[in-house]
Amino acid sequence: MIAKLTWRNLWRNRRRTLITMSSVTFAVFLAILMQSFQKGIFDNLVNNVVSFYYGYIQVHKQGYWNEQVLDNSFFYDDSLVMKLSGNPDIKGITPRIETFLLASVGNTTKGCMLVGTDPVKENLLTGLEAKIVEGKYFTNNEQAVLIAEGLAGKLKLSVDDTIILFGQGYHGAMAAAKYPVRGIVHFGSPALNDGLLYLPLTQAQFFLSAENMLTSLAVGIHEPEKMPAIQQQLLSVMGKSYEVMNWKELMPDIANHIKADGSSFYIFTGILYLIIAFGIFGTILMMTAERQYEFGMLIAIGMKKISLGKMLLFETLLITLLGVILGLLISLPFVFYFDKTPLRITGKMAEAYERFGFEALFPAAVNSSIFITQSLIVLVIAFLIGLYPLWHVSTINPVLAMKK
Amino acid sequence: MNNTVIDAHNLTRIYDENTIPVYALNSVHLHITKGEFTAIKGPSGSGKTTLLNMLGGLDEPTEGYVNINGTNITQLKGNKLIDFRLNNIGFVFQSYNLIPVLTAQENIEFIMLLQKRPKAEREQRVTELLKEVGLIEKAGKRPGELSGGQQQRVAVARALAPKPQFILADEPTANLDSVSAGNLLDIMAKLNREEKMTFIFSTHDQRVIDRARRVITLEDGKIVSDTTPAPLVHTNS
């Protein structure tokens, strides 16, 4: 009967209950949508920029990242691979030699980054073959390049056209060669899409006069959450001659952006929750004030204060729970829709995102923890507010409460 | 055999003790035995409600004590006092007596639920009581769907439900028309006569005073008269 009483009490003032419930629903909906978008956007960003090229962790010769020149490359042999491949959390390791050089076609010359990589391992780590939009993937020892779509566009290159590369090789050696374009690849990140050029590893090493030398080992991992632990393991295995950096250290701008955006999200949801908290509190305050006489009467006839307080707490939780459930139900289709059909931003805002190396695509992440966390936060707020009537009831004097 | 239900000794209630003391009750001695049908009358501010509140354990005396069936309720605090009220004292208030979202039947059952009585027993007692107050056909109605008199009859049934030692009724007829008031008094008189239920009223209402077998008059917090008029003869309003 207490449950029945609690339920019916909720609907004494139907309009007020519906308004309170709607505000909770709206808060949960907004918070879930915001966090799903935030996570979706960041996941997409990390996917675009990190797992599409950099890998979650990179190993370099000590000092390479501060001075990214070929002379800071390291000798690559099987013992090095053995050190790394024993870790079951590592998905794959891609050896690379990277350098900046000039690419020229006719009268057009553009700066680009040459990446010499093992075609098979690169494909396993970053799925490079799937990014081919024209032409085909290259093989080991093939004397041909893959070029990023944006760069190809700037150089007006098509598949089977020839590109001339020139720059500086290992220890100041002159590097110049021409290669046919085997395929054109598309990257989500404009920064990568406008500047990358791939050669098979051995070809690149030969071209740069850097046989068996590497500038980096890109490490792919199965579970991004384990990145700090894997980084620590690698640090101890590789020793002080090498630097082991995670993607946040490799791209601090992006990591900082995610952090800053995360903070603004917390501030915004904090304000949202504060508004909701006041909304619920207002309802509870009115409810307790209106039913003062009744509380006095119930205590007078023999209802324990703690039982009355619990009943009021349940009323608060129930009204919130209904709002939360409604918020969850409404947000689900939106989150699923925007997961499958991400928002594509255009115009100046898109340009701003692209300048940061973001793909201006806003997908929503479908993640059960977001739904659970947001619901729990609102319920905890309601519980804390529900403690007010509990306290209020404990102070009621039935005689005073029943005085009009 | 000791038939004493209430023994109130030297009950004194002083408001604003630290400034100008106001004596709501001043050294009241009262002795109520089982089966009494007592009206406490007096002008407004004479201390009727204060006395009733003290007899019901709702208010604490500044001095004195209330003994109910051998228990000094003045010394009971918190949940012990609430439990004592639940199991020993029935209350009928002037108005707004019932829980508005529960039906008549549920209002009566609710108090037995607080006593943790088994469902079957509760249901049987609710039926008995609704028959007793003549509202069995209104069992499923909420207070808002009942007249003032019917609501007070449900309140009487609820007060009786936990099988209390006595019932305190604070101006129970104040908001009722004469027919409803008469019906209510008939029911209470019948319960008093047939079940020896003790009733103590605080009232201004002459209809109640006329039906009472003991009339206590309060003035300025003191008992100025305590009379036992002719035995109750009315059975109808």
For A112-126, write each residue's pLDDT tens digit.
999 999 999 999 888
Q: Are the C-beta atoms of A169 and A208 separated by less than 8 Å?
A: yes
CA A356 – CA B110 distance, rounded (Å): 66
Those residues whose C-beta lies under 8 Å from the C-beta of residue A121, and which sit 6 or more positions away, are A92, A93, A94, A95
In whole angstroms, how far apart are CA A370 and each of A111, A364, A365?
Answer: 43, 11, 9
Q: How far is B61 from chain A (nearest CA, A)?
A: 13
Q: Are the C-beta atoms of A56 and A221 separated by less than 8 Å?
A: yes
CA dihedral sign, ordered B168, B174, B175, B176 = positive
Q: How far is B101 from chain A (nearest CA, A)?
A: 6
Across the range A294-318, mean pLDDT stands at: 91
Task: Quote the pLDDT of residue A179.
Answer: 94
**H-assigned helices in A46-146:** 78-85, 119-126
Find, among A34, A55, A1, A401, the residue nearest to A246 by Cα: A55
Choose between A360 and A212: higher pLDDT.
Answer: A212
Please give the span between the terminal C-alpha atoms of chain A, in angstroms, as a whole number: 28
Task: Quote the pLDDT of residue A250.
Answer: 87
A257 to chain B, any CB pair closer than 8 A? The answer is no
pLDDT digits (tens, 9 = 90+) for A347-369: 887 777 766 656 678 888 888 89
Name chain B contacts of A393, Cβ cutoff 8 Å.
none
How many contacts (CB atoms, under 8 Å) link A and B?
65
Average pLDDT in chain A: 87
Task: Quote the pLDDT of residue A204.
Answer: 94
What is the set of domains in chain B, with CATH numbers?
4-227 (3.40.50.300)
Report, as ranges of residue numbers, the positions in chain B whose pLDDT lies below 70.
1-2, 17, 96, 230-237
Helix (H, G, I), strand (E, B) or coil at B66: strand
Name chain A contacts of B85, Cβ cutoff 8 Å.
300-302
Q: Are the C-beta atoms of B11 and B55 separated by less than 8 Å?
A: no
Q: Are the C-beta atoms of A179 and A217 separated by less than 8 Å?
A: no
Name chain B contacts of A300, Cβ cutoff 8 Å.
56, 58, 85, 91, 93
Contact assignment for A304 to B79 by CB distance below 8 Å = yes
Task: Quote the pLDDT of residue B163.
Answer: 87
Q: Are the C-beta atoms of A6 and A315 separated by less than 8 Å?
A: yes
The dihedral formed by the CA atoms of B110, B116, B118 and B123, expressed in degrees to the nearest 10: -10
Task: Quote the pLDDT of residue B235.
Answer: 47
The gap from C-alpha A88 to its chain's centroid, in whole angstroms, comes to 24
Choose between B30 and A345: higher pLDDT.
Answer: B30
Q: What is B82-128 written as a DSSP string?
A: HHHHHHHEEEE-SS--S-TTS-HHHHHHHHHHHTT--HHHHHHHHHH
B 104-123 residues inside an 8 A Cβ radius of A = 106, 109-111, 113-115
CA A149 – CA A154 distance, rounded (Å): 9
CA B89 – CA B126 distance, rounded (Å): 18
Count the neighbouring beta carbons within 10 Å of the beta carbon of residue A143.
15
Structure tokens at A367: 């993640």
**H-assigned helices in chain B:** 48-55, 78-88, 104-114, 119-132, 148-160, 178-195, 206-211
Residue A22 has pLDDT above 70, yes or no: yes
Q: Specify the DSSP class assigned to residue B232.
A: P
Predicted-assembly ipTM surpassing the 0.90 threshold:
no
CA A222 – CA A89 distance, rounded (Å): 6
Nearest to B97 among A297, A302, A306 (CB): A297
A182 pLDDT band, cuts 50/70/90, is very high
Nearest to A301 among B59, B91, B109 (CB): B91
